[in-house]
């Protein structure tokens, strides 16, 4: 089983399963608990035109840039278009690369490697083994 490399153990006392909390995004990989609300929702109360809460405004700017970054991440359609490398003999996706041009299957040891999209590979796997991957 893979180990958790936590820097801080604050999440251990709060959550029953730290792994589940990491998957849900409640805890970072390092063990830091994510705040429920990263900034308060109070409006700017300064009458002079400046911000009365500059740290809060900075947090809002950072949060907005993170949201924009997440929008630009791969969608499901883009992800499905990424080519996958598989073994032609056993249809395994466990392909190891040795050096620059040498690849082999980690399951059966074959060097007969193909590439396709994930949907085509799933159909080939279902045809060969009679079940979904």
Which range of 9-13, 20-24, 83-87 scores highest in mean pLDDT? It is 83-87
Per-residue pLDDT of 48-87, as tens digits, reads: 766 667 777 787 788 777 777 766 666 666 777 788 899 9
Q: How many CB atoms lie within 10 A of CB 10?
A: 13
Domain residue limits, the chain: 1-39+52-73, 81-129
Three-class SS of residue 69?
A: helix
pTM of whole model > 0.85?
Answer: no
């Amino acid at each position: 089983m893979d180990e958790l490399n936590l820097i801080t153990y604050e999440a251990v006392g709060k959550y029953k399963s730290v792994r589940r909390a990491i998957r849900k995004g409640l805890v970072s990989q390092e063990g830091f608990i994510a705040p429920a609300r990263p900034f308060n929702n109070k409006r700017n109360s300064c009458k002079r035109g400046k911000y009365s809460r500059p740290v809060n405004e900075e947090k809002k700017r950072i949060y907005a840039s993170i949201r924009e970054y997440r929008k630009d991440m791969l969608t499901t359609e883009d992800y499905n278009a990424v080519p996958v490398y598989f073994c032609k003999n056993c249809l395994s996706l466990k392909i190891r690369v040795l050096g620059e041009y040498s690849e082999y299957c980690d399951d059966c040891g074959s060097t007969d490697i193909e590439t396709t999209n994930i949907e085509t590979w799933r159909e080939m796997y279902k045809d060969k083994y009679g079940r979904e991957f």
